[in-house]
């Protein structure tokens, strides 16, 4: 069964997704003690801001208000990824857990947008989703690289746990 999205519906989905990702990365950066991991999260948050702005420029709906106000809104605390991060922080998380959450979220976004793009007939709308997929794949690679770096710093007693998973 196909679901045809209008360009505006696709942009609305992309805007919401980029805002959620921006909020996640900002919170992860604030909770991260490792300087290198914090820089990665800050970079990702700033890239999400850029994506959000580019989608916002083409969106004609009014429910978000202006971009500055929308970006300043508090995070969607019911977003499952944000909730997972908050639980990990409550459990005194470190960078590894935040990166694991980010990897799962980026992979989920890639999968979701790939399925949506496959069923979209309008080339403009399909292009919007394909752009999101391409940027998300770059994010995944960046997070994966940082995850590998962090894992080399994990105490040897913890390494067996993660090698087996």
Mapping DSSP onto H, E and C, the string for the chain reads CCCCCCHHHHHHHHHHHHHHHHHHHHHHHHHCCCHHHHHHHHHHHHHHHHHHHHHHHHCCCCCCCCHHHHHHCCCCCCCHHHHHHHHHHHCCCCHHHHHHHHHHHHHHHHHHHHHHHHCCCCHHHHHHHHHHHHHHHHHHHHHHHHHHHHHCCCCHHHHHHHHHC
Q: How many domains does the chain have?
A: 1
Would residue 26 count as lying in a domain?
Answer: yes
Would residue 74 count as lying in a domain?
Answer: yes
pLDDT for 140 equals 95
Would residue 1 count as lying in a domain?
Answer: no
CATH number for the domain spanning 60: value is: 1.20.1260.10
CA atoms within 13 A on the CB side of 94: 11
Containing structural domain, residue 13: 7-164
Question: Over the chain (165 residues), what is each successive 10-residue block's mean pLDDT?
Answer: 70 87 90 86 92 87 93 90 75 74 89 83 84 91 91 57 46
pLDDT for 156 equals 47
Would residue 14 count as lying in a domain?
Answer: yes
Would residue 2 count as lying in a domain?
Answer: no
CB 98, CB 41: distance < 8 Å? yes
Round to whole Å and give the CA distance between 110 and 129: 10
pLDDT for 145 equals 92
């Amino acid at each position: 069964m196909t679901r045809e999205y209008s360009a505006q519906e696709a942009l609305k989905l992309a805007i919401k997704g980029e805002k959620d990702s921006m909020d996640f990365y900002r919170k992860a950066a604030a909770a991260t003690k490792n300087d290198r991991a914090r820089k990665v999260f800050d970079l990702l948050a700033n890239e999400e801001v850029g994506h959000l702005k580019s989608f916002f420029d083409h969106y004609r709906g009014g429910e978000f208000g202006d971009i500055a106000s929308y970006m300043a809104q508090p995070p969607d605390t019911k977003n499952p990824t944000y909730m997972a991060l908050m639980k990990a922080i409550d459990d005194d998380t470190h960078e590894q857990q935040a990166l694991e959450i980010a990897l799962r979220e980026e992979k989920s976004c890639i999968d979701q947008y790939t399925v949506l793009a496959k069923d979209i007939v309008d080339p403009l709308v399909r292009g919007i989703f394909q752009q999101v997929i391409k940027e998300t794949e770059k994010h995944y690679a960046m997070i994966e690289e940082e995850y590998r770096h962090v894992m080399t710093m994990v105490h040897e007693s913890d390494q067996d746990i993660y090698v087996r998973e």
